[in-house]
Amino acid sequence: MENLYEKIGGQEAVSKVVDVFYEKVLADPTVNTFFTDTDMEKQRRHQSLFISWVLGGPNQYSGKSMAKAHEGMNLNEEHFGSIATHLAAALREFSVPEEDIGQVLEKLTTMQDDILHK
């Protein structure tokens, strides 16, 4: 059975989803300030590997842990909600079914404790 990663077209498709995701994130004043001093090319690469894994693809991410990566950012539920909303919207633009988007958001929610209030 195909996982979501394969269903949407593998790494190339994930990279496109990540590009759309960051267009939305960088246009959102709720969360865009977190990326002011960020190397966005590197950020997109990391996010692409992370999203690939979330979608059931290979786990190639070898960066910092979620808690370490978000340390000092003091992200709250509103920030988390904005990011989740933008990811869902980006997946919708690539015709990913709502049921699959729900699974992705469910997986992200399991990481909330490692991300928020750090």
Judge whether 46 is annotated as a binding position: yes
CA 4 to chain centre: 14
Query: Token pair of 105, please?
Result: 């958001």
Half-sphere exposure of residue 62: CA atoms within 13 angstroms, side-chain side: 1
DSSP, res 50 = H
3-class state of residue 73 by DSSP: coil
Binding site residues, as ranges? 46, 70
Binding site residues for heme, as ranges? 46, 70
